Amino acid sequence: MINKKNEKTPFIERKHGYLVLKFENLIDGIVISRINRFLVKCLVNDNEIYAHLHDPGRLNEIIYPGNTIKLRPVENGKYRYAVTFGYDGFNYTLNDARFHSMIASKFLRPGYRKEYKYMDSRIDFLLDNYLIEVKSCTLVESKMAMFPDAVTLRGKHHLELLSKSINDGYKPYIMFLIFNQRAECFVPNFNRDPKFSETFYKAIDSGVVPRFLVFYINNGSVYFDKEIKLCNI
């Protein structure tokens, strides 16, 4: 459990059922096709529409023809709708990266800085001397949360930076937001990205601390479920 009384971490405690995000006016849609990484053709009330998908992952288990998704109307943007939740056959997952930083911030003590410039990249948060990078995960197989679901050179580079930051006096964390309640433990996805996965274990061995927070979706809202650990495999 994340402990807000323990000042040796940048985190605060949240209990099961803590509300982190609520959406209004969601619309049911059916996937027709994924046009490209960021655009989905959908069927809404027998009308074909296009919706922005702010998630570059493969999402093979979510964004495929005939599957159910939930959209929200957007006022500003090229498209009138944005993909918000997708159904993976068991539960809905959050599929919009624009909300990850905000969700992660609700688990940090006050005083953090966002988008902290370190070396040649930006790390999501700096709090005191803690560097905190945030990643999201929706893929779960055999109760194991798996990241990434596509090759991520950027993710690998972030891990390398977090490892290097220890020599500069930082205390680095990598924080995974897992939007799939079926997850019971986490493992890097060697099948999709072996280089990221190898770098992940090297980073952990060097002193980068991982956190794995699981969330669930109910009636258009996102709630904190639990914290899990690395799988013993």
Any idea what the CATH number is for the domain that residue 45 is in? 2.40.50.580
- The answer as to whether 6 is a domain residue is no
81, 108: one domain: no
| Alpha-carbon radius of gyration of the chain | 18
Of residues 5 and 178, the one with the higher pLDDT is: 178
Q: Are the beta carbons of 176 and 158 closer than 8 angstroms?
A: no
Strand pairing category for 68-73 and 47-52: unpaired
177, 82: one domain: no
- What's the domain range around 68? 22-94
CA distance 229 to 185: 5
CA distance 83 to 38: 10
- Cis-peptide into 148, omega within 30 deg: yes
68, 140: one domain: no
Q: How much is the pLDDT for 7?
A: 53
Domain boundary among 73, 94, 115: 94
104, 88: one domain: no
Contacts 24+ apart (CB under 8 A), 4-8: 4/109
How many domains does one find in the chain?
2
- The answer as to whether 13 is a domain residue is no
- The answer as to whether 2 is a domain residue is no
Q: Which run of H or E residues covers position 87?
A: strand 81-87
- 227 pLDDT exceeds 80? yes
Q: How much is the pLDDT for 154?
A: 95
- 5 pLDDT exceeds 60? no
pTM score, whole prediction = 0.93
**In the predicted model, what is the mean pLDDT of residues 101-125?**
97
- H-assigned helices in 66-166: 100-105, 153-165
Q: How much is the pLDDT for 116?
A: 97
Per-residue model confidence as pLDDT tens digits over 68-108: 999 999 988 789 999 999 999 999 999 999 999 999 999 99
143, 204: one domain: yes
Q: How much is the pLDDT for 169?
A: 97
- The answer as to whether 16 is a domain residue is no
CA distance 28 to 185: 30
Q: Are the beta carbons of 69 and 85 closer than 8 angstroms?
A: yes
Q: How much is the pLDDT for 4?
A: 44
Q: How much is the pLDDT for 6?
A: 45
Q: How much is the pLDDT for 77?
A: 78
Q: How much is the pLDDT for 76?
A: 82
Domain boundary among 77, 94, 111: 94
Structure tokens at 139: 């893929």
Per-residue model confidence as pLDDT tens digits over 31-61: 999 999 999 999 999 999 999 999 988 999 9
- Mean confidence (pLDDT) of the chain: 94
**In the predicted model, what is the mean pLDDT of residues 200-217?**
98
Q: Are the beta carbons of 107 and 85 closer than 8 angstroms?
A: no
CA distances from 87 to 21, 71, 76, 153, 193 (A): 18, 12, 26, 27, 24
- The answer as to whether 82 is a domain residue is yes
Which amino acid makes up residue 77? G
